[in-house]
Amino acid sequence: MDDNAGIRRTLEILLPMHFEAVKAIPSPATLVASLEQFRPDVVLLDMNFSTSINTGNEGLYWAGEIKKMVPEVEVVLFTAYADVALAVEGMKRGAFDFIVKPWDNDKLVEVLTAARDKARKAKAPVIPGEAKESMFWGTSRAMAAIRRTLDKIAPTDATVLITGENGTGKDVLAREIHARSLRSGKPMVAVDAGAITETLFESELFGHVKGAFTDAHTDHVGKFEQADGGTLFLDEIGNIPLHLQAKLLRAIQNRSVVRVGGSQAIPVNIRLICATNMDLEQLVREGRFREDLFYRINTVHIALPPLRERKEDIVPLAQMFLERFARKYRRPLTGIAPEAAQALSAARWSGNIRELQNVIEKAVILSEGTILTAKDLQIDARSGSGMTENVTPGLTGGLPRSGAEEERLIREAVERCNGNISAAAKMLGISRPTMYAKMKKYGL
């Protein structure tokens, strides 16, 4: 699918020499019909179709739509060199690979053949995907101490509070605790508490009965009930408004919930794990977090160290990510060059493990050799960070504890990204739902 007639004619000559059937279309207007009638294994998808728009976002959108309509069809993005960053984003969203224009015929055929083979394998019985990300302990003293603590508390039902900067792996540690608990055979339900709007807070956590409010057409089971017998993980708990904290405390103390619009107390048997990047003790002193709730969730406190305090783990982590993404993106990479390892160790990693993972993923996708080089990493030497964007210090690695400072940084991120909320959230190292919740909080 390409709007350039010359490119379509060229491919209609080249590709039938290697594939059973080829169909060329100029725009998304006939895409749905073509998918239904032609039933392709692979779609070679241009990134732009409108002469007035040259952002590449059309390609990302249609790649997503194709995967929704026919998940077994593989998408290969067809892009100009300037859109390589977008193509990398497309691969993260499910595209098989990308080809840069002007293209090499042999490379094009090689990629399309691999995509076709993968698509045909998908028609076989489904094979379970890769397991959830597992905990990487490394060799630092701080992580060794945390591991000893986890050995003691995992088999119990003790409530755990995990703190640490954004990107340090709080959610991964929570899953590790659940996996090693006596509740591992039951569900672990994760909730981004900072992303739930105030009006839906009770309904999301405690559920509601039919007719409780407009559009409540059926009964709804809340997160507490969904986690019954297992673990409830409340992330971003420091962002819950003060007046809603009392309702949360009541449910935790009573180990029961009352659905919105209902009157019956429903018992729930859960193990509670909470996480935050905020200083809850400071929030208690400021009157922004209930002291009784703080003590209720703080039976065991685990503080995850930032990556800059466990430098000996940076290169092993990078190697682990390299192997994972080399398998995912079918790259022949096996190791990290010495100068690349040195650059990784010297970087600040303000976004911690999440930032390191993103840098390695992009480097693996763009690399053309068998060893990851410093050039592949594209680390900004001026800032010593893996973030190549022009980021103001303080915009990554976790939002500050001061409300005024947090509001300032959110405003600045939105302005820098020209109103693109997704990009601003990524710059700040937070999820998009959390970003929207914080913007609503500050009236932005």
User: What's phi and psi for 24, nearest 5 deg?
Assistant: -110, 130
For the segment 239-262, the average pLDDT, to the nearest whole number, is 92
Confirm whether 424 is domain-assigned.
Answer: yes
Of the three residues 254, 272, 303, the one that is the final residue of a domain is: 303
Question: Whose CA is closest to 314, among 379, 270, 249?
Answer: 379
159-195 residue pLDDT tens: 999 999 999 999 999 999 999 999 998 999 999 887 7
Query: Is residue 62 scored above 80 in pLDDT?
Result: yes
With a cut of 70, say whether residue 395 has pLDDT above it: no
pLDDT at 36: 79
**Average pLDDT estimate for 251-255:** 93
Quick one: DSSP state of residue 97? Answer: E
Long-range contacts from 67-72, C-beta under 8 angstroms, 24+ separation: 67/93, 67/94, 69/32, 69/35, 70/35, 71/122, 72/119, 72/122, 72/123
131 within a domain of the structure (yes/no) = no
Q: Indicate the helix (H) or strand (E) that contains 76.
A: strand 74-80
- Best CA proximity match to 193, nearest among 223, 231, 220, 226: 223
Amino acid 335: pLDDT? 92
For range 78-90, the mean pLDDT: 75
Do 206 and 344 lie in a common domain? no
Contacts of 371 (CB under 8 A, 6+ apart): 333, 334, 335, 336, 337
> What CATH number does the domain containing 328 carry?
1.10.8.60
**Segment 320-327 mean pLDDT:** 91
The pairing of beta strand 265-267 with beta strand 256-258: antiparallel
Same domain, 163 and 215: yes
Number of folded domains that form the chain: 4
In a domain, 384, yes or no: no
pLDDT at 235: 93
Residues 6-26: tens digit of each pLDDT: 999 999 999 998 888 899 999
Q: Is residue 417 part of a domain?
A: yes
Instruction: Examine the domain organization and report whether 342 and 196 are in the same domain.
Output: no
Of residues 424 and 35, the one with the higher pLDDT is 35
In the numeric block, the tokens 């094009």 are attached to 108
In this structure, are 147 and 241 located in the same domain?
A: yes
Averaged pLDDT of the chain: 84
> Is 10 in the same domain as 61?
yes
- Same domain for 60 and 95: yes
Could you tell me if residue 396 is inside a domain?
no
408 occurs within a structural domain: yes
Please state, in angstroms and rounded to a whole number, the distance separating the CA atoms of residues 69 and 79.
22
CATH of the domain at 422: 1.10.10
Distance, in Å, from the CA atom of 132 to the CA atom of 324, rounded to the nearest integer, reads 12
Q: What is the mean pLDDT of residues 50-69?
A: 74
pLDDT, residue 30, reads 84
DSSP conformation class of 17:
G
Domain CATH number, residue 185: 3.40.50.300
Distance linking the first and last C-alpha atoms of the chain: 40
- The CA distance from 169 to 353, in Å, is 7
> Is pLDDT at 315 greater than 50 in this prediction?
yes
Same domain, 74 and 103: yes
SS3 55: coil
- Residues 151, 41 within the same domain: no
Residue range 206-237, pLDDT digits in tens: 998 888 887 778 888 999 999 999 999 999 99
**Averaged pLDDT for residues 289-315:** 95
Is residue 341 over pLDDT 70? yes
pLDDT for the residue numbered 394? 40
Using a pLDDT cut of 70, give the percent of the chain over it. 87
| Distance between CA atoms of residues 170 and 174, nearest Å | 6
Q: With residue 355 as reference, give the H or E element that holds it.
A: helix 352-366
CATH number at residue 113: 3.40.50.2300
The pLDDT of residue 284 is above 50: yes
Q: Predicted confidence band at 121 (pLDDT cuts at 50, 70, 90)?
A: confident
Supply the pLDDT for residue 437: 77
Verify that 104 and 155 share a domain, yes or no.
no
Model confidence at 126: pLDDT above 70: no
Domain shared by 156 and 277, yes or no? yes
Candidates 147, 148, 145, 177; CA nearest to 161 is 177
Q: Select from 342, 350, 395 the least CA-distant residue to 372.
A: 342
Domain ranges, residue 411: 403-441
Give the residue from 72, 88, 121 where a domain finishes.
Answer: 121
Q: Is the pLDDT of residue 127 over 90?
A: no
In a domain, 395, yes or no: no
Given a cut of 90, whether residue 289 has pLDDT beyond it is: yes
> Among 121, 149, 169, which residue terminates a domain?
121
Residue 135 lies in a domain: no
Distance CA 55, CA 58 (A): 7
- 192-196, 282-286, 400-404: lowest mean pLDDT where? 400-404
* Higher-scoring residue by pLDDT: 128, 380: 380
In degrees rounded to 5, what are phi and psi of residue 164? 155, 160
Residue tagged 């509001």 (tokens): 407
Q: Identify whether residues 36 and 106 lie together within a single domain.
A: yes
Quote the CA–CA distance of 380 and 409 in Å, as a whole number. 21
* Cα-based distances in Å from 51 to 57, 82, 376: 13, 16, 32
Q: Residue 45 is inside which H or E element, if any?
A: strand 42-46
Same-domain status, 151 and 299: yes
Please tell me whether the peptide bond between 102 and the residue prior to it is cis, using omega within 30 degrees of 0.
Answer: yes
